Amino acid sequence: MYENKKVSKIVDEVLTYLLGKNATDINIKVEKLPKYTMIQTTSQNIKLSEQELVELRNFLNSTHREAETEQYYWALAGEGNASEELGLVAIMVDIAEIYYEGDELKMDFLRKRSDN
């Protein structure tokens, strides 16, 4: 029922995070497939150390998605400070991949669809 709004909140939080890190040339692709939605971002001019990259990847994959928790928290996305933004994203996605490809930071999020 709220699947589209949840996906748009994820996109909003990721975009806010990237802008807060002074990223430039940000591209976001949302692909809705029958069983899942894939959100892919690429951005320039964002430098994370290898340690920061590993910590961010681990953080985003450390929380297991639970429908009950998500139902409550998805509406709060955008209400907290910058340190909480991606925490809410972690609750709403099933898999997060964060990596560099050349000079581009890539963030890929997979969310199993709940409106099937």
Enter the pTM of the model.
0.82
- Which distant-in-sequence residues (6+ apart) come within 8 Å of 107 by Cβ? 14, 18, 40, 41, 43, 96, 97, 98
Query: Is the pLDDT confidence value at 95 over 50?
Result: yes
Mean pLDDT of 96-109: 94
pLDDT in tens, 46-75: 989 999 999 999 989 887 666 666 655 555
Token pair listed for 105:
């930071």
Question: Could you give phi then psi for residue 81, rounded to 5 degrees?
Answer: -85, 175
